[in-house]
Structure 1
Amino acid sequence: MKAKQMFTFLALFMVMLTSCEKANINVDPDTGNGSAIGEVSGIWKRGSVQHITGDIIIPAGQSLTIEEGVTVIMDAATKPEIIVKGNLYAEGTFAFPIKFTVDEALRTEENKFGRLWGGILAASSCSELLLNYTIVEYAGATTSDASTSVKQKLYKGKAGENLPALWFANVKGKLVVTNSIFRNLQEDCTYIEGGKIIFSNNQFYTTGLTGGEAINFKSGCLADVANNIVYSTNTNALKLSNSGDRDPQAYIIAYNNTFVNTGWRRPTAKGGSIWVEATVRVSIFNNMFINTRFGIKRDTKAPEDVRSIFSNNYYYGYNQTTVNQFQPTTEIIAGTNDIIGKTAGDNEPKFVNYPTSTDVNNAVFSSAWDFHLQSGSPAIGKGKTDIKPQHTAGLVLNGVTYKSPDPASYIGAFGTAN
């Protein structure tokens, strides 16, 4: 009898131990601080610190909500991946953003292009993913045969791939990324393969060691991209493609964004500002291109949908080489009502605080810069406002409605400061 009771106790203990491995462990119930490995769901309490010591998975049909001010420390030794099969809601605030990062001692110049942990990888079963007032940094590790994403055939499903900081892959899902920062990443900031999508009011900088875009869209995406600042991506600010044979056809509306110094660190001529290809349908207007390597560029062998619209975009080049590479050709797309000069220095945008003579190869972003427009800027009053974004009625995630911004009467991501 005693032996039988002991066997029963041991069996129950093993069940409990296994359950612990599938959820948060070592959680302080008062502060919410803890460490996690394996399956996670529920709520990470506001202001808490979560240490991720190995790959974590949000199971299908479950959700993880991350409250304002949470710091998520990824273990650089194990380079964890965050696998999202259910839903993820990272809801920070301006005063208390959420941060996915690494130990402070590793946030160095040597590690400025990340590679210290994997990324947020959302499988096709993820129906809702929100990043609001969220900082994602030092991600983009290279996969190996031991990576969970490789074993589960997620993202590209093979070893040797540099992971994006964010991957989303549900054509029927909803993705909202707003008021957030992507920085210190090895390659693509985001790689999106379907869904109803809003990217608005975000910053992308210090990204791309040898390649990579800020936002990389494929077929199945219906996206509005507005009011973002993209600084010195290695390749394009936006790569817009209908590749992948997913339904619906990719349709991207990109407006009132500011792109600065993009494309110059790419070792081949592909990099630039916005790249369009493979019958993607686009409406691209009210965007500001400051010292970008090229203007909007198409793949001449697989061009964009003929219904695409290009209008009211603004170009400035500090030197003549840059200005020459803005000029329309069969590759560089001319828009209607564009503001584009032919001489170095034409159309100085008059930012509140940014020296337009900054070296185009500079990848270091200064928080002191201010890309609002001074009074008298030639970009004021030149915006197009009669194109309706796709998600003005909003996308509802976790019961909250997030709407695409209205097009502005100025060009670029920011109007005047007051």
Structure 2
Amino acid sequence: MKKLKVISFCLSLFALASCSKKGADNAVVSVPLVQIGKPISNSGPLAAGTYKGTMLANQTYTVTGDITINAGDTLLIQKGVTINMTNGANFIVNGDLISLGTKDAPITITDPSKTKQVGPSTVAGDPAYVGGWGGIYCSNTANLVVIKYTHLDFGGAALKALPFPASAGLAAGNQYILYFENPKGVFIMEDSWMYGSPDDATRFYGGYYNIMRNTMEKCGSVGGDGFNAKGSSVGNMAYNLIIGGATNGTKTASDGTTAGECQFTMYNNTYVNDGYRNTGVYGARSGSVEIENNSRALVYNNLIVDCDFGVRIAGGPAGAKVYLADTTSSSTALIPKTAYGYNYYYVDNAAMAGQIVPTSVAQAVVTHPQATDIPNMAALLGPNYTFGLVYDGSSLVGKNNPMFVNYPLPAANNFWVTQASVDSYNFHLQQGSPAAGKGTTNAALIKPITTGIPVDPTFGSSEITMPGADMGCYQLNGTGNHH
């Protein structure tokens, strides 16, 4: 049981003021800040060592070495905190980490020596792809990580050494920003931002996850995925905006464990310009959604714009680097069977159009064309189409413009290759968008995973947002992604 010290002085003042004014129905009551243990001072740099307690609201901290949270301890970060990470420092989490930013006062963890660049982006000239501070590495004793309204900018410096005896796929030299491997632990990431990484932005190797309403930009230099779930990880990836990722935006693969299958719902995400910095074999990976290696997923209501590949269900023999996703039926799995549909595609050239339903360019795929997708790929390809065959999709170029509030579609001159950040663009849908109301909210098709995911304003998910009728992460009724 955590010992909480609640700062309630402001609340008491407001209560007294309310008592002194009868009939003051519009009195505003301040929400007290949660504090755990003792405050952590920002009077000097935080050197490498063990820490617990609370980083206080609106303060700036400078970190010069790895911050380690011991098993059984908790580090809580209050709203508005800025943490300047230097010397490639990491958070090593063997206990609990709670980062509680708010919409009006987000938390920022960054490398102060780096500055965001707007406009066209290339690996050679953009500091986003280099790695500045390290990452948040969570061992198999990390029970709870909660990240809310938090900017994670310029992470991914290479690990100098293993921070703990890893039970999954961690090695010295890895450049992840978020790593979690406790099969019984909980990882919550909501309403947050990730900007820049040299490799996979995340690696999850077991546990329960709710990944909702986040924005991810410029993740992966010449390869690397966005939200990459492996092992026995289960949960939800929903209402995320992923723009300019090197390879997959969201991915599942049951690698690195014998504890069970990786199972995720992926719904109402918006993928823009993903898949163009991967220097590996073309067609061996996706550019939006990838389901592979004996994992299960439900993939619905996603808006996929100018991505290298559409939703890709990998095939191939067991033992290959990328082998068959689990497409069988199960009466005991959280996801009874991998299924997908009601996904919306817009493309600006024939190469992308020929991969809305991914083909077996480099290896086998088992992605079926869906009549519920926009465009209707089942009708386009016809009843005799066998998954994996090459087809001509050139008639789809420039069709079904989703009508973003502010983003240039059609895009010309390989704009999708180099525009990898949100900048001043606005990916909300306009009223009258052809993507509005085209999703499914049918719980028989798409139902979020709730098993193992606590709902709590501090020690859990704020909410598990249900599927929305509008395609993508922004809903016309104001729900979904809050950025």
> What TM-score bracket applies, with the shorter chain setting the length?
0.7 to 0.9
The answer to whether the 8 Å contact 1:24/1:36 transfers is no
The verdict on how the C-alpha distance between 1:60 and 1:336 changes in structure 2, with shifts beyond 3 A counting, is farther
One-letter code aligned to 1:338 = D
The verdict on how the C-alpha distance between 1:202 and 1:105 changes in structure 2, with shifts beyond 3 A counting, is closer
Q: Distance between the aligned counterparts of 1:189 and 1:160, measured in 2?
A: 14
The answer to whether the 8 Å contact 1:296/1:333 transfers is no
Q: Distance between the aligned counterparts of 1:378 and 1:271, measured in 2?
A: 25
What secondary structure, in the 3-state scheme, does the structure 2 residue paired with 1:265 have?
Answer: coil
What secondary structure, in the 3-state scheme, does the structure 2 residue paired with 1:112 have?
Answer: helix
The answer to whether the 8 Å contact 1:394/1:402 transfers is no
Q: Match of 1:133?
A: 149
Shift of 1:195: 1.1
Q: Match of 1:53?
A: 64
The answer to whether the 8 Å contact 2:309/2:358 transfers is no
One-letter code aligned to 1:56 = I
Q: Distance between the aligned counterparts of 2:266 and 2:427, measured in 1?
A: 18
What secondary structure, in the 3-state scheme, does the structure 2 residue paired with 1:103 have?
Answer: coil
Q: Distance between the aligned counterparts of 1:253 and 1:327, measured in 2?
A: 19
1:322 equivalent in alignment to 2:368: no
The answer to whether the 8 Å contact 2:202/2:226 transfers is yes
The verdict on how the C-alpha distance between 1:333 and 1:211 changes in structure 2, with shifts beyond 3 A counting, is farther
Q: Match of 1:74?
A: 85
Query: Could you give the per-residue CA deviations for residues 26-58 of structure 1, whole angstroms, max 9, x where no partner exists?
Result: 644xxxx75242001100000111111111100
1:376 aligns with one of 406, 429, 432 = 432
Q: Distance between the aligned counterparts of 1:409 and 1:116, measured in 2?
A: 39
TM-score of the superposed pair, with normalisation by structure 2: 0.75
Identity of aligned residues (%): 29
Q: Match of 2:100?
A: 91
Structure 1: which 5+ residue stretches go unaligned? 1-22
Q: Match of 2:370?
A: 335
Shift of 1:328: 5.3
1:390 aligns with one of 434, 446, 449 = 449
1:121 equivalent in alignment to 2:137: yes
The answer to whether the 8 Å contact 2:218/2:245 transfers is yes
Q: Match of 1:158?
A: 171
2:205 aligns with one of 193, 203, 219 = 193
Structure 2: which 5+ residue stretches go unaligned? 1-37, 118-124, 317-322, 328-336, 377-392, 479-483
TM-score of the superposed pair, with normalisation by structure 1: 0.86
Q: Match of 1:228?
A: 240
One-letter code aligned to 1:50 = Y
1:289 equivalent in alignment to 2:329: no
- The number of residues matched between the two structures is 386
One-letter code aligned to 1:327 = V
Query: Could you give the per-residue CA deviations for residues 229-271 of structure 1, whole angstroms, max 9, x where no partner exists?
Result: 0001001101211122342321110000000110011112224
Query: Could you give the per-residue CA deviations for residues 95-129 of structure 1, whole angstroms, max 9, x where no partner exists?
Result: 11111101256656642224112100010100100
The answer to whether the 8 Å contact 1:297/1:333 transfers is no
The verdict on how the C-alpha distance between 1:401 and 1:417 changes in structure 2, with shifts beyond 3 A counting, is closer
One-letter code aligned to 1:340 = P
The verdict on how the C-alpha distance between 1:48 and 1:238 changes in structure 2, with shifts beyond 3 A counting, is same
Shift of 1:366: 3.4
Q: Distance between the aligned counterparts of 1:348 and 1:392, measured in 2?
A: 37
Q: Match of 2:260?
A: 248
1:367 equivalent in alignment to 2:383: no
Query: Could you give the per-residue CA deviations for residues 44-74 of structure 1, whole angstroms, max 9, x where no partner exists?
Result: 0001111111111000000000000111111
What secondary structure, in the 3-state scheme, does the structure 1 residue paired with 2:405 have?
Answer: strand
Q: Distance between the aligned counterparts of 1:62 and 1:290, measured in 2?
A: 43
The answer to whether the 8 Å contact 1:116/1:140 transfers is yes
The verdict on how the C-alpha distance between 1:402 and 1:312 changes in structure 2, with shifts beyond 3 A counting, is same
Shift of 1:148: 4.7
The answer to whether the 8 Å contact 2:429/2:476 transfers is yes
Shift of 1:367: 3.2
One-letter code aligned to 1:139 = G
Q: Distance between the aligned counterparts of 1:172 and 1:394, measured in 2?
A: 11
Q: Match of 2:228?
A: 216
Shift of 1:297: 1.6
Deviates more, 1:360-369 or 1:118-127: 360-369
Q: Match of 1:349?
A: 402
The verdict on how the C-alpha distance between 1:279 and 1:200 changes in structure 2, with shifts beyond 3 A counting, is same
One-letter code aligned to 1:49 = T
2:188 aligns with one of 166, 176, 191 = 176
Structure scoring higher RCO (CA < 8 A, sep ≥ 6) equals 2
